[in-house]
Amino acid sequence: MSFISFVANNARWIVGGFLLTFFSAFGQTFFISLSAGEIRAEYGLSHGEFGILYMASTLASALTLPWLGRIVDRYGAAKVTLIIVPLLAAGALGMAMSTHVLMLVIVIYALRLFGQGMMTQNALTATGRWFAANRGRAVSLVTLGHNAGEAVFPFAFVALAAALGWRQAWIVAAVVLVAVALPVITALLAREREPLSDAPDEKAVPVRDWTRGEVLRDAAFWLLLTGVLAPAFIGTTIFFHQVYLVELRGWSLSVFASSFALMSVTTIVFALMTGALIDRFSALALLPFFLLPLAAACFALGLAEAQWTAFVFMGLLGVSYGLSSTMMGAIWPEAYGTARLGAIRAIVVAFMVFATAMGPGVTGTLIDLGVSYPGQIVAMGFYCLAISAVMLIVSRRLVARRDAHALANQPTVP
């Protein structure tokens, strides 16, 4: 099936998933942190204090996800959307109305849980279950919603905040979620796609369906997390402290915000390339390589001071995001099957949210203690290099295990 035919035949599900990840932006760190300066000023918070507050809210959402995330195994994507989009809109409205630190904690918790957490969980779990032979293609297209959001929303929010005020800009976000996202997504996903209804892939290797308990006892799962969580930890940390970094370097915030568009373009290109490579070779085969561009991005941002460095960083980050975002939707079905994909992904997303919570809190505290922020970014680059070697070992182990299962379950020829 050609790419165009595939998209045309599955447009409603791909666009629905795309919009879920697109509108998850309102709960993503890169969007929330655009108000970081105003929040710190109005609530009298230091970088470290706001980082710890943000970390606490995000950790609470991570603890909720393993329980709440299982609803995607019980209900269809449209029904889950009817629950999570209004709650995300309530969080956006709460950000506009909040005047107390305790309320701010609750608001950030809601934004993180229903935005980054459940919108992504709903989109990628449904896509992973709906598609088999073309899972890589489907996931790569759906995850482009994240990149489109990163391209559109920072510039739009900065412009709205300058014209109306930052609180009023959050009200607009809530209205958009209720008036646009909710009806459009639910209409697109109202009909469930028949699982595996695309043409069967004769090269596909059968995968055993693991239970969540088995996954949590699997050493390979924990080693996988050291790699797949790195882009979330690093990207969130840098985006959260983007205002501080801009001030530190003497850059223009509007120019830095415009560099998100370059990241989105490179992410789109490499996400589509990765989707095709996954369908041809598998996500496990690409595992050892996806952190290398992120390492280069960290070295560029941490060691150079010119304004154009932001565009170099964003371009390389986009390459890494294109690889990792598509792999995050395909690696878990390849490694652990699809029967309990929602429950397994809920654990993964919870740890991802946990990683995004730790980043701002830890780095914010280090900034308050006088530790060089550029130095911290360089250290993240060295971490990516080290973990790439670990991913090579994990990849070989998982491929061997998958092939052994396939061999044991070959049909007997009479």
Q: What is the pLDDT of residues 349-401, one digit of tens each?
A: 788 877 877 787 788 888 888 899 889 999 999 999 999 999 999 999 998 88
Question: At a CB cut-off of 8 Å and minimum separation 6, what does 361 contact?
Answer: 51, 52, 54, 55, 56
Task: Provide the pLDDT for residue 410.
Answer: 64
Mean pLDDT, the chain, rounded, equals 86
Tens of pLDDT, residue by residue over 137-185, are: 888 889 888 878 877 888 899 899 999 999 999 999 999 999 999 999 9
Residue whose C-alpha is closest to residue 333's, from 118, 126, 65: 126
- The number of beta carbons lying within 10 Å of the beta carbon of residue 387 is 21
Q: Are 31 and 152 in contact (CB under 8 A)?
A: no
pTM: 0.73
Per domain, the residue ranges of the chain are 13-190+204-407
How far apart CA 273 and CA 226 sit, in angstroms, is 24
Whether residue 196 is predicted with pLDDT greater than 60 in this model: the reply is no
Tens of pLDDT, residue by residue over 47-79, are: 778 888 988 898 898 889 888 888 888 888 899
The two tokens of residue 410 are 């070959």
Q: Class of the 13-190+204-407 domain? A: mainly alpha
Helix%, strand%, coil% for the chain, nearest 5: 85, 0, 15
The two tokens of residue 359 are 């980043």
Task: Provide the pLDDT for residue 202.
Answer: 44
Amino acid identity of residue 52, one-letter, is: I
Of residues 195 and 32, more confidently modeled: 32
Residue whose C-alpha is closest to residue 267's, from 326, 181, 355: 326
Helix and strand counts by DSSP (H, E) for the chain: 22, 0
Residue whose C-alpha is closest to residue 186's, from 177, 175, 174, 197: 177
The two tokens of residue 240 are 């959260």
Whether residue 110 is predicted with pLDDT greater than 80 in this model: the reply is yes
How far apart CA 122 and CA 27 sit, in angstroms, is 14
How far apart CA 141 and CA 18 sit, in angstroms, is 7
Q: Are 110 and 94 in contact (CB under 8 A)?
A: yes
Which ranges of 29-119 would DSSP assign to H, the alpha helix?
29-32, 36-43, 47-68, 71-74, 77-97, 101-111
Lowest mean per-residue pLDDT among 106-120, 218-232, 236-250, 389-403: 236-250
Residue whose C-alpha is closest to residue 235's, from 348, 360, 105, 60: 360
Q: What whole-number percentage of the chain has pLDDT above 90?
A: 33
Residue whose C-alpha is closest to residue 65's, from 355, 360, 323: 355
Task: Provide the pLDDT for residue 201.
Answer: 44
- Mean pLDDT for the stretch of residues 340-356: 80
The two tokens of residue 380 are 């993240």
Q: How far is residue 404 from each of residues 164, 170, 334, 337, 339, measured CA to CA in Å?
A: 61, 52, 14, 15, 20
Question: Binning pLDDT at 50, 70 and 90, where does residue 253 land?
Answer: confident
